[in-house]
Structure 1
Amino acid sequence: MEELLSVLWSYRTTPRSATQETPFSLTYGSEAVVPTKYITPSPRMAAYAAEINEEERRVDLDLVEEKRDMAAAKAALYKNILTGYYNTRVKHLRLNPGDLVLRKNSVSRAEPQGKLTPKWEGSYRIVESNQNGYCKLAYRDGSRVPRTWHAKNLKLFYP
């Protein structure tokens, strides 16, 4: 409990990799003064003037929305870069009509979930598939499975 305040302070004043901004600056519009700078004199504290500080504070508050918008744009760019990095290493599974697949039990919720329940169920035959990865399935007797399933919830079955 004694360390909680210092951990929270360090979290709020550390720049995030996605936005290169601190949560404190995005909330209040300016950087925080570290508490140790109050104890030991620094050039920042020596040059403090109340009237100039008030004027600069108003300017910071006027620009905080722009700062937040720039941080959101940086975060979106960061997510796109991560998505591209991830997608270059993913082998996309192409499922064709007639393939036999297993369906994830956690998605279908056909059986109650538990530690010892099987993770996959079925074997189902793919009736239709499209380029987005969605498939229509059929039971072994030929009747259709309700709902459409995405390939990430299916696994090829080799009998």
Structure 2
Amino acid sequence: MESARVGWLDELPTILWAYRTTPQTATQETPFALTYVAKAVIPAEIGVPSDRVHNFITRDNEDELRLNLDLLEGRREEAAIRMAKYRGQIARHYNARVRPLSFKPGDLVLRKNSVSRLQGTDKLDPNWEGPYVVKEADRGGYCKLAHLSGEEVPRTWHNSNLRIFR
């Protein structure tokens, strides 16, 4: 589409057809097949004699389409199961590199400036503020913070918004 800046509207149906007839990674099915039950005949197959086009029988095709409609719900459920499995694989791959943080009372931490918004959030402003002392920490990942002087910070903070001060 980048090369066809002027005639992109003419290219859109071709691009959408390619998307609809390409099996997706997560479901292993084409969006066309999950919507219309049948496999699409691509334009290249119409011009070139293939077994699908050559052996087409209208009466048998109607019976097959009815059968496919009966089996559609099961096919969609199988695609949903494959998608959930794929999402789990992606999550495991991502989470393999995540190191969980746990803070103990007395740890020094920095807090994200974008969360507290005590200082401006312009491009050149610092991303972290602090240091703060952890007063209390629970298993859920929430911490009560205090300034170095001992004065408690009014709100509770989650581990994802904190970083160990070194």
* TM-score grouping bracket, smaller chain normalisation: 0.7 to 0.9
In structure 2, distance between residues paired with 1:140 and 1:85: 39
* Structure 1 residues 23-34: aligned runs within 5 Å: 23-34=31-42
Query: What's the TM-score, normalizing by structure 1?
Result: 0.85
| Alpha-carbon shift at residue 73 of structure 1 (Å) | 1.2
In structure 2, distance between residues paired with 1:30 and 1:148: 55
Deviation string, structure 1 residues 61-109 (Cα, Å, up to 9, x no partner): 2222222211111111112122222222222222111111111122333
* DSSP 3-state at the match of 1:145: strand
Partner of 1:57: 65
Match of 2:17 among 9, 22, 27: 9
Gaps of 5+ in 2: 1-7
C-alpha distance 93-50 of structure 1, shift in aligned 2 (>3 A): same
**Equivalent pairs, count:** 158
| Alpha-carbon shift at residue 112 of structure 1 (Å) | 4.2
Partner of 1:150: 158
1:95 aligns with 2:103: yes
Deviation string, structure 1 residues 13-54 (Cα, Å, up to 9, x no partner): 221222111122122222211111111221101111122212
Q: Which deviates more from structure 2 when the two are superposed, residues 16-25 or residues 137-146?
A: 137-146
* DSSP 3-state at the match of 1:63: helix
Partner of 1:35: 43
Partner of 1:82: 90
| Alpha-carbon shift at residue 115 of structure 1 (Å) | 1.7
1:140 aligns with 2:131: no
In structure 2, distance between residues paired with 1:126 and 1:79: 35
* DSSP 3-state at the match of 2:153: coil
In structure 1, distance between residues paired with 2:66 and 2:154: 59
Aligned-residue CA RMSD (Å): 2.0
Letter in 2 for 1:144: E
Structure 1 runs (4+) deviating above 4 angstroms are: none
Gaps of 5+ in 1: none
Q: Which deviates more from structure 2 when the two are superposed, residues 141-150 or residues 9-18?
A: 141-150
